[in-house]
Amino acid sequence: MNKHPHVAVVGATGAVGIEMMKTLAKRNFPLGKLTLLASARSVGKKLNFRGAEVTVTELTTDSFAGIDIALFSAGGSISKEFAPRAAQAGCVVVDNSSAFRMDAAVPLVVPEINAADVKQHRGIIANPNCTTAITLMALYPLHEAFGVKRIFASSYQAVSGTGAKAIEELERQVGQIVNRQPVTKAVYPHQIAFNVLPQVDSFLPTGYTKEEMKMENEGRKIMHHPTFRASVTCVRVPVYRSHSVAVSAEFEKTVTVEAARAVLRRAPGLELVDEPEHHKYPMPLFTSEQDNCAVGRLRLDCALENGLCFWVCGDQLLKGAALNAVQIAEELLN
């Protein structure tokens, strides 16, 4: 791999694409050239990168000649069409969609957990689901110490996980309610302002949603833990940015709060914020636009053997998407 690679951001004008550019700049990623790719309607837009304007060009099947790394954030259908072509052109794709996550030939990577899996790539590396990544940032260090068997979890997912139009919908509905106007909805099936929706993604025949099953399926692959079990309820909440997850985990070994805190203090990419007596615990308000996830509200689970409860928050546009992708790109250079 070129030590100063030519990098492309696919879906550059979207929320995650913008965060990918910001993250590349913030982390001083040693790229030699940046190419911004998007659909035809975005062609000609100019985006700022390190003080200079970069013009967006159209994504086509011929876009990847000479590109070393492509960070994809344009949806599963785009990834399925263009990622294999990019790989055939000699480019390494880091894909943020769900298109290749469960493909046995494609590594699914959270660098703090399984960075070595990057070496197994055949041209495509998958970024995990945002809620899964944020949860595993706290769960995996505990798994290494105590051996996780299963978890029960509920997510509290920000509207920005759905996209810019969802943010606009929340803002619009808040204004409508404050001004005593009829509430209009277009993105979600129900009002999201001052409400919570116990549905993220589409329902499966089991009654779980696709989003809920990603925790178990992707968690098994990332942690190399084929017997890991996860029962999850994913909830959309009227928060602009940063997801939160309440987790009750059962372990093979005896766990104490003190031992768990010691493990989590040492975990990379994670901050322990656990002083409930002083009202200090992780919140989306404080993890938004922050690279690190935060964990707190540690306590022994009163219903599980060797059980521990915790609350973890993280910016789903960063650790759940853009930051994780750039970290994978950094691993490619090592």
What residues are annotated to the active site?
Answer: 130, 243
Q: Give the whole-angstrom CA distance, residue 246 versus residue 154.
A: 5
Beta strands across the sheet bearing 243-251 = 229-236, 148-157, 243-251, 307-314, 293-300, 270-272
Q: How far is CA 287 from the centre of its chain?
A: 13
CB 242 within 8 A of CB 314: yes
d(CA 47, CA 54): 5
Cα 7 from chain centroid (whole Å): 20
**Which phi and psi angles does 314 have, rounded to 5°?**
-165, 155
Q: Are 319 and 110 in contact (CB under 8 A)?
A: no
Query: In 3D, which of 161, 173, 167 has the Cα closest to residue 201?
Result: 161
Q: What is the β-pairing status of strands 307-314 and 243-251?
A: antiparallel
Nearest CA to 326 among 41, 1, 71, 144? 71
List the beta bridge partners of residue 69: 7, 92
Tokens of 76: 């599963």
- Provide the residue type at 46 as one letter: K
DSSP code per residue over 46-68: EEEETTEEEEEEE--TTTTTT-S
CB 228 within 8 A of CB 148: yes
